[in-house]
Every structure is written in C-alpha cells, then in structure tokens.
Amino acid sequence: MIVVDTNVIAYAVIPGAKTATALATIAQDPEWVAPPLWRSEFRNVLATSVRTKRLTLSQALAAWEHAVGLIAESDLAPDCGAILRLSAATGASAYDCEYVVLAQTLGVPLVTADNRLARRFPDVVVAMDHYRRAGGE
C-alpha cells in the first residue's frame, strides 16, 4: 500500500510523458490510497484539461472512472489537527500536508511527482521516479 497524490493519479489515467512511470508504480504497488481531497483536486485537473481542449468531456469522464477504480480507499480523512500542526511547522500547504499526514498515519510512503514535496518531507515522501527505481518501499 502507498499513498499517492493527485499528480500520480492524473499521470496514470491521462496519457502523457509520465504515464509509463505512473503505470510502473501501479505494477510495483497496486494498492493506492489517498485522502478525500484527491477527488476535488482531480476534478479540477479534468476540468482544466477539458477547458484547454487537452481532453474531450467524454475522455475526462472516462479518466474519472478509471481514477476512482485505482484508489482502494479514498475516504481516509487524516486528522485536521495533525495537518494544521504540520503546515504551521513546515510552511507547506494544508493540501500537501493532508497527503503527508495520511502517509504518516498509515506508516506507508507518499509517492508523488512533486519533487519539491519529496525534498521537503524526505522521511515519508518519495518521488515517483525514485520509487520506481528503488523497487518500492
């Protein structure tokens, strides 16, 4: 099991340059979890992709269905106090801290395509490229 952020989910279901890496991450560890926030963030990615004509509406809806099928547990809400404390201590956004706290709570890595986030929380966050190369955690 790993926690994944919205970037990894998007790369897995919207074809692009990082899709192969995201799919290799699924092959490495197919049990993906994310906090409920991922749904809103991913809907925004899809809406932006439709507005910019990167995806048609039907492609966006298909990507949504595919993404929902990837997340084993999407209703795991991390503790609000822990999120706010981590954000205050590190200056990271509450959005990022939601993923980090969920990974810490579950005792699993957070895999992300956000290298800045991986550098900020090296004890729990692994860049998607490094997770793949390291053979998982």
CB 103 within 8 A of CB 3: yes
CB 126 within 8 A of CB 118: yes
Specify the pLDDT at position 90.
96
Instruction: Give the percent of the chain with pLDDT over 90.
Output: 88
Tens of pLDDT, residue by residue over 58-96, are 999 999 999 999 997 666 889 999 999 999 999 999 999
Specify the pLDDT at position 135.
52
Contacts of 136 (CB under 8 A, 6+ apart): 2, 28, 29
Specify the pLDDT at position 55.
97
- The reported pTM is 0.91
Specify the pLDDT at position 131.
85
Residue 107: is its pLDDT beyond 70? yes
Average pLDDT over residues 100-128: 96
Tens of pLDDT, residue by residue over 2-39, are 999 999 999 999 999 999 999 999 899 999 999 999 99
CB 101 within 8 A of CB 78: yes
DSSP 43-96: HHHHHHHHHTTSS-HHHHHHHHHHHHHHEEE---PPPHHHHHHHHHHH---HHH
Domain 2-134, classified CATH 3.40.50.2300, yes or no:
no
Q: What residues does each domain of the chain span?
A: 2-134
Measured in degrees and rounded to the nearest 5, phi and psi for residue 122 equal -65, -15
Average pLDDT over residues 127-131: 90
d(CA 20, CA 61) in angstroms, rounded, equals: 21
